[in-house]
Structures are given as C-alpha cells and as structure tokens.
Amino acid sequence: MKKYRAIFIGAGVAILALLFYSFGVQKTIDDILAMGWRFWIIAGIFLFNNIFMTAAWKVLINHPIRASYYPQLFLARVAGDSTSSVNAMASAAGEALKAIYIRDVVPFKTGLASVVLDRTVHIISNVLMMLTGIFISFFVLNIPLWISTGTLVAFILVLYAMMMVLRKQRQGFVRYLLTRVPRRWLDRFMNEKRWEKVDTLDGEIAFVFSSRETMKSFYASLVIHYLSGFFFSSLEIYLIVIFSGNEISFVHSMFLYIFSMFLTSVIFFMPANLGTSEGSFSLALRFLGYDPAIGLTVGLIKRLRTLVWSLIGILILFFAGMTRKN
C-alpha cells in the first residue's frame, strides 16, 4: 500500500507540474495575491456548511439530545471530517471518531449507526447533485444529446443502486456486508458475541426506516445535505473566482463544483485528490469557455481552506485528548 500511495502521490505531483507548465505560475500567484484577506471569508463559508450538516446528522440519531449538546455534535463532525479531508480512504476512521467523541451523550452503538446513516445520506445527496449537474450541462455545454442522455441513464442506475443499499440497511446492512467476506476470513474474527453486536447495530440503523415518522428524519437529512452541500460549495467556488479578480456566473460555479466532485469521486484513490482536483476545475472551465488557468487558483484555494479546517479538527481532537475524552 505504501508503494502504491507513493506512485499515486507522484502521479498527482506530475499532473500539477503539467498544469503549471501549461498555464504558467504567474497567473495563479496574481490571483491569490488579489484575494488577500478575503480568503478568510472563503474559509468562513465552510462554517455554515458544517452547522447545517451537523443538523442533518442530529435528526438521524435515535436518542434524545438536548439543544445544549448541539455544539458537541458540531465539534465531533469537524473533528471526524478532518481525517477524510486528508485522504478519502481514511473517511471510515473519521466516521467512527464522531461516534466516539459523543459517546458520553449518545450510546456508542447508536452514534455509530447514525454516522453510517449520515454517510449513506451523503452519498445519495452526491448522486442527486450529479444528476443535477447533468441537467445543468444541457444548458451550459454544447455536447451531443446522446452523450448527455447516456450519462443521465447511467446516473439513474447508480441512484437505483443506492435505493438497493437502503433496502439492505432495512434488512441488516452491516451483517449483509460481513457475509460478503469469504467464510475462511470471517470465522477468524467473528464469534457469537460479535454477531450479537452487529445485529444490535443493524437494529439501530434499521430503526430510521421502521415507520413513516422516522423516515421523515431520513428525508429531512437528505434535503439538508443536498441543499447545504450544493449551495455553499458552489458559493465557495463563485467567491474564489470573483475575489481573485475573474468573472463567472453562479450557474457555472454550480457546474464546476459538480464536475469536480464527479471526477474526483471516480479517481478517489488519489491521496487528497492531488492534481486531479485542480485538473478537474481547469477542464470544466475550458468546457465553459473560461481561462483554464483559473482552475489552478480554485483548486489551490480550496486546498488551503481544507488545510485550515483540518487543523481545526486536529486541534479539537487534541483538546479532547487533553481532557481525557479518549
């Protein structure tokens, strides 16, 4: 794994070098200098996104939570997400961290079930955003109809697959996943007591699908994920371009966000989306008729914003450790 990671990092650095060689360095430097102190406005936008995403997680928790505990949920979300922002492959550890952080407020199994549901909602909302991006592309891109139609059909199939995942969560999602593991490996670490814990976790996950009333929580979370993620991420890109002295419409900013999300999701194995994030923005801007060099500015500023919030998350975890929240 270390060897492959080194290869992917090398590939990402090569992509970045190629982009700078193609577009030059001066344009990016001028754009970043033009932004100046307004970078902190960009970083601040993510605060509001985290506030809404915490609310989307809270409605999925099958446990009474007083309003005074909301800040703790917020800190848990920021701390947990600080891992996935560094590497998408580490996001599973980040989800578990959220449940651990709030275990003095919410029982661990209940918290773990809620983060599994929250991650499922997040994936479904991303698929819906991509479907929205395909719809937007009909109006902003001059591409053959058959390509757009084929892409739309493909994403509808992906959405159908997501619905099948929800059905499995209703029936016992964690047990289902474990039964896909070869028997000779499964028997090494699973015993009767651990299977009981898995069934308890599945019961917590399935609770949200048990009635119309609890399903309302699921749909409310999905709406918040979709609207908050779509709006604030698109606004971030829009302001980055505007603050750096360039011009773009908000609709085009929406397309940039969705196109980048799609491309980086396909190439998820690249550590921190190195090179692929900047390249996706440059490619989308070229499609839209803008200077593709702006994509480097957008990608690097977003990377700096991610670094700021990752440091905040690490500080939260460090403080939790200092106060013996193991």
CA 69 centroid distance within chain:
24
Per-residue pLDDT at 41: 92
What mean pLDDT do residues 231-256 have? Answer: 90
Per-residue pLDDT at 99: 81
Query: Distance between CA atoms of 326 and 321, rounded to whole angstroms?
Result: 6
User: 3-class DSSP state for residue 292?
Assistant: coil
pLDDT confidence bin for 109, thresholds 50/70/90? confident
Per-residue pLDDT at 151: 64
pLDDT confidence bin for 238, thresholds 50/70/90? very high
* % pLDDT > 70, the chain: 66
For residue 235, pLDDT over 90 is answered with yes
CA 128 centroid distance within chain:
13
Among the ranges given (11-25, 96-110, 214-228), the one the predictor scored with the smallest mean pLDDT: 11-25
Query: Distance between CA atoms of 287 and 283, rounded to whole angstroms?
Result: 6
Per-residue pLDDT at 177: 65
Q: What does each C-alpha distance from 185 to 181, 182, 189, 193, 227 come to in angstroms?
A: 7, 6, 7, 17, 42
Per-residue pLDDT at 159: 66
For residue 63, pLDDT over 70 is answered with yes
- Do 37 and 306 meet the contact criterion of CB atoms below 8 Å apart? no
Per-residue pLDDT at 237: 92
What mean pLDDT do residues 268-289 have? Answer: 77
